[in-house]
Structure 1
Amino acid sequence: MAIKIKHTLNAQDFSAVFRFLSERSYWSKGISKKCLRFACDNSLCFVLTENNTLRAFARVVTDQATFANLLDVFVLEEYRGLSYGKQLITAVMTDARLQGLRRFTLATKDAHDLYQKYDFSEPVFPEGMMEIYKPNIYIE
């Protein structure tokens, strides 16, 4: 088994990521290819493959000095429970470009247990956190 973490999306990987995010995710349903391509081109991408087949994906928006936000993390359904998620998040958290940051954020509905293993926790000052949230922005 040749598990690899790549940082670029080839056409086959991009198609698989697009299908998952636009059709099966709860957070990006309906996202367009153009929007996703632009997002990936402006992010650090983490593409976990085994035998050249996509198993899991994540991307990070960052200035690589003070702040990062972890987004679009998923393991394809048929590969869940095989520790690909842990391998993917370990790769993100140990990436040299993401060390020494003052703040590293993410939003999750159902994976708190996984992220707590990597020292993510509730915001220290939640009263200072604000957002503009448009959950259905991609759905027509």
Structure 2
Amino acid sequence: MMFVVDTDKTRLDVARIHRFLAEESTWALGIPLATVERSIAHSLCYGGYVDGEQVAFARVITDQATFAYLLDVFVLPAHQGKGYSKLLMDVIMADQRLQGLRRFMLATSTAAWLYERYGFAAPAKPEALMERNFPDIYRKGA
């Protein structure tokens, strides 16, 4: 079995992405399908495939000049432990559209070890960062 990463949005299994995010993720439980579709339409997307079947996904929100934000990274549970997350990240970090950025951010509570190998670290000045955070927005129907 060979793992391949592709940036062609037409290949994405949107139903599978939605199912994982809405039912299995720790960050987007209950997310509506329409929201997933809109997020894909406005992001750089990376699908990971084994024998043509999508088993991994990630997306990046970016202006492709100064800033990027990595999110919705996952490998389906049945395919974890095979190095696919590293291969997915290798492709993302090599993407020419994401080179020379002043800031590349992400938020994670489960896989800091993965992102640290690509130079991600806790913010140098956390006191300078602010956020509006609504972690249960999809479950509360807001």
Find the aligned partners of 1:11 and 1:85 in 2 and give their Cα distance: 19
Find the aligned partners of 1:8 and 1:37 in 2 and give their Cα distance: 14
Does residue 47 of structure 2 align to residue 47 of structure 1?
Answer: yes
Give matches, 1:2-21, under 5 Å.
Answer: 2-10=2-10, 13-21=13-21
Find the aligned partners of 2:63 and 2:9 in 1 and give their Cα distance: 20
Counterpart residue type for residue 28 of structure 1: A
- 1:79 aligned partner: 79
Q: How far apart are residue 5 of structure 1 and its match?
A: 1.4
Q: Percent identity?
A: 44
Does residue 95 of structure 2 align to residue 95 of structure 1?
Answer: yes
Find the aligned partners of 2:11 and 2:29 in 1 and give their Cα distance: 20
- Provide TM-score, normalisation by structure 2: 0.94
- 1:35 aligned partner: 35
The verdict on how the C-alpha distance between 1:104 and 1:12 changes in structure 2, with shifts beyond 3 A counting, is: closer
Residues 15-44 of structure 1, C-alpha deviations (whole Å, 9 max, x = no match): 111110011001011111111100000000
- 1:138 aligned partner: 138
Q: How far apart are residue 122 of structure 1 and its match?
A: 0.7
Find the aligned partners of 2:54 and 2:127 in 1 and give their Cα distance: 39
Counterpart residue type for residue 126 of structure 2: P
SS at structure 2 position matched to 1:138:
coil
Moved over 4 A (4+): none
Q: How far apart are residue 10 of structure 1 and its match?
A: 4.1
Counterpart residue type for residue 98 of structure 1: L
Counterpart residue type for residue 118 of structure 1: Y
List runs of 5+ in structure 1 lacking aligned partners. Answer: none
SS at structure 1 position matched to 2:40:
helix
Q: How far apart are residue 8 of structure 1 and its match?
A: 3.0
The verdict on how the C-alpha distance between 1:121 and 1:32 changes in structure 2, with shifts beyond 3 A counting, is: same
Residues 98-124 of structure 1, C-alpha deviations (whole Å, 9 max, x = no match): 000000000000101110000000101
Find the aligned partners of 2:124 and 2:18 in 1 and give their Cα distance: 34
- 1:58 aligned partner: 58
The verdict on how the C-alpha distance between 1:42 and 1:76 changes in structure 2, with shifts beyond 3 A counting, is: same
- 2:124 aligned partner: 124
- 1:105 aligned partner: 105
| Aligned length in residues | 140
Counterpart residue type for residue 133 of structure 1: N
